Structure 1
Amino acid sequence: MAKTSIFSKEYEKRRRRKRRRIVLAVVLIVLIMGCGVLYSQGNISLDKIKNIFVNKNEPKNKINEQSPNNTVDNSKKNSQENKNEQKSEEKKFIEIKLASGSSAKALYDEDSTGKKFVLVEPLQDGSTFDISKSAKNILINDATTQEIKIYDTNGTEKNVTKPNYTTQSGQVFTKDNILKQYQGYAWSKNAKFIDDDHIVYLSQLPWFKTGDAETFMWLIDVKTGEHKTLWNVKGKQIQIGTLNDRGITVVIDGNNKTVTADGNLI
């Protein structure tokens, strides 16, 4: 077969093909040697080496799953999920204003049965709270004014404090005047739910004096607003405890008793 003349067009084509083959061979050798070094050092696996050559032949118009657009979408999705989680963790509450000027938050949870109180925070100046058995109502003992206020889960307020005391002769003594006249007088304190419709509290009524005085337990009918003295529950030292199956526990001068919702002492 005759040799191709160096002046012919076929000669130039063959030289270009030969150069491309040489360059391709050199590139392949370098890639193989580089992958071999990385594999020997544990920096690359056989699967990754395979992907280098496979991906080289993939169409350029194939969309990468981790494209910048996908990354932005994922970031937005994660951000929204974080906001939803934070929103679900936000505390739900109604705000309560105290006579001292401070405020407190009555926290509640909400589920398929509705809202239920769980806690009041923070209470200051000696004020206290109590939650009804159904957790649908909460009462606040405002220490500044000795008022008893009930709140429902919608934030509706109801003041059930006894505003005055009327003697058998018809003489009326108001709470505010008695508290000014007798320093340290207990008009109403430590109120607690005995059930959802009844509250008990401690008071030095019907006597007006301080010091070595007896304290009486009073019962409030929440529906009617009636206050009734429990004459059989009295003592120099009385503490109202927690609810039990029969009523609410009370310690009278060191003796443990139970007061029922109808006012009986057992």
Structure 2
Amino acid sequence: MGKPSIFSKDYEKKMRRRRGIIILSIFAVILLTSGAWLLGKVKVKSFVSSKKENIEDKKKVVENKKNEKNAITEGNKNEKVSKETKKTDGYEIKLSNGEKIKLVYEEENNVKKFKYIYPLDSKVKYDISPSGKKAIVYDEKVQKIISVDINGKILDITNTKYVSTDGSVIINHDEQIQARPDYIWCDMPKFVDENNIAYVSQLPWLNKTTKYIWTYNIPNNTHMNIQSISGEELTIDKLSDKGLKILADGKTLFLKANGEVTE
């Protein structure tokens, strides 16, 4: 806006107007400058904050990867220590048919426990006591029960003869098996507890197909007939809290270590 002539009729009025416009313009420039400065400051602050957050995030990622790596390393170390403290070995048994099996035990902190037989696909019947300290193997061809303790002591615990109440031998194991290979002298041996083993037998009868449950007591080295269990179809199942599960002609029974039978 040009400056009005001093000789103009409205000189004072125009000068006031001119000064007002100049003041408003200056104020507008100040406002725009201040706004631009504040906006720039906010952007810079936002950028710095974002940069800081990115740095923190990267630090967290690096820290997480480090922790994960340490955890994996520690896990591998523990697994290595576990493998070093656990050792497996076994006792080999040669059966009458020429087959060789191994009763495998695991040793940890100088404590041994039987685990399984090898080869794993072997069809040989066997059982391990509740503590893992004893095992039995059934030699099917000659119908014999072999006992093995955790120290490798191997014993034939088969009942070699049936003796009458007066002490006379009525039936001899080897003679009966040779004469009648289909006769069940003993079969399916299983632990009832640490000191007692149960098995199926046709004893004391020679001309019956009925089967009975017999038990063998390890400390006393004695065989005993459980007269309350018999059947044409007799199967020894597995050990439970109620005792050794037995299926007798479709009926479920439980045998306890003291010879007691429950349903």
What's the TM-score bracket when you normalise by the shorter of the two chains?
0.5 to 0.7
**What letter corresponds to residue 134 of structure 2 in structure 1?**
N
Q: Take 1:134 and 1:143, find their aligned partners in 2: how far apart are those partners? A: 25
**What letter corresponds to residue 152 of structure 2 in structure 1?**
G
Please tell me whether the aligned partners of residues 87 and 108 of structure 2 are also in contact (alpha carbons under 8 angstroms). Answer: no
Q: How does 1:47-62 map to 2 (within 5 A)?
A: none
Consecutive unaligned residues of structure 1, counting only runs of 5 or more, are 1-83
Are residues 1:163 and 2:152 paired? Answer: no
Bigger drift between 165-174 and 247-256 goes to 165-174
Q: Report the equivalent of 2:124.
A: 127
The alpha carbon displacement at 1:127 in A equals 3.0
Flag the 1:89–1:125 CA change in 2: closer, same or farther, 3 A.
closer
Q: Report the equivalent of 2:229.
A: 233
Which structure has greater helix proportion?
A: 2
Flag the 1:188–1:119 CA change in 2: closer, same or farther, 3 A.
same
Which of 95, 98, 104 is matched with 1:107 structurally? Answer: 104
**What letter corresponds to residue 249 of structure 2 in structure 1?**
D
Q: Report the equivalent of 1:195.
A: 193
Specify the SS of the correspondent of 2:96: coil
Are residues 1:94 and 2:91 paired? Answer: yes
Please tell me whether the aligned partners of residues 104 and 123 of structure 1 are also in contact (alpha carbons under 8 angstroms). Answer: no
Q: Take 2:206 and 2:249, find their aligned partners in 1: how far apart are those partners? A: 21
Please tell me whether the aligned partners of residues 125 and 143 of structure 1 are also in contact (alpha carbons under 8 angstroms). Answer: no
What are the superposed Cα offsets for residues 51-101 of structure 1, whole Å, 9 maximum, x if unpaired? xxxxxxxxxxxxxxxxxxxxxxxxxxxxxxxxx999888742111121112
Q: Report the equivalent of 2:250.
A: 254
The alpha carbon displacement at 1:124 in A equals 8.6
Bigger drift between 130-139 and 180-189 goes to 180-189
Q: Take 1:127 and 1:87, find their aligned partners in 2: how far apart are those partners? A: 31
**What letter corresponds to residue 119 of structure 2 in structure 1?**
P
Q: Report the equivalent of 2:15.
A: none
What are the superposed Cα offsets for residues 16-66 of structure 1, whole Å, 9 maximum, x if unpaired? xxxxxxxxxxxxxxxxxxxxxxxxxxxxxxxxxxxxxxxxxxxxxxxxxxx
Bigger drift between 116-125 and 150-159 goes to 116-125
Flag the 1:160–1:179 CA change in 2: closer, same or farther, 3 A.
same
Q: Report the equivalent of 1:174.
A: 172
Q: Report the equivalent of 1:264.
A: 260
Query: Aligned residues, how many?
Result: 182
Consecutive unaligned residues of structure 2, counting only runs of 5 or more, are 1-80
Q: Take 2:245 and 2:127, find their aligned partners in 1: how far apart are those partners? A: 14
The alpha carbon displacement at 1:123 in A equals 7.7
The alpha carbon displacement at 1:171 in A equals 3.9
Larger Rg: 2
Q: Take 2:257 and 2:169, find their aligned partners in 1: how far apart are those partners? A: 30
**What letter corresponds to residue 195 of structure 2 in structure 1?**
D
Q: TM-score scaled to structure 2, two decimals?
A: 0.64
Tell me how large the CA RMSD over aligned residues is. 2.5
Which of 182, 194, 197 is matched with 1:184 structurally? Answer: 182
Q: Take 1:89 and 1:222, find their aligned partners in 2: how far apart are those partners? A: 29
**What letter corresponds to residue 260 of structure 1 in structure 2?**
K
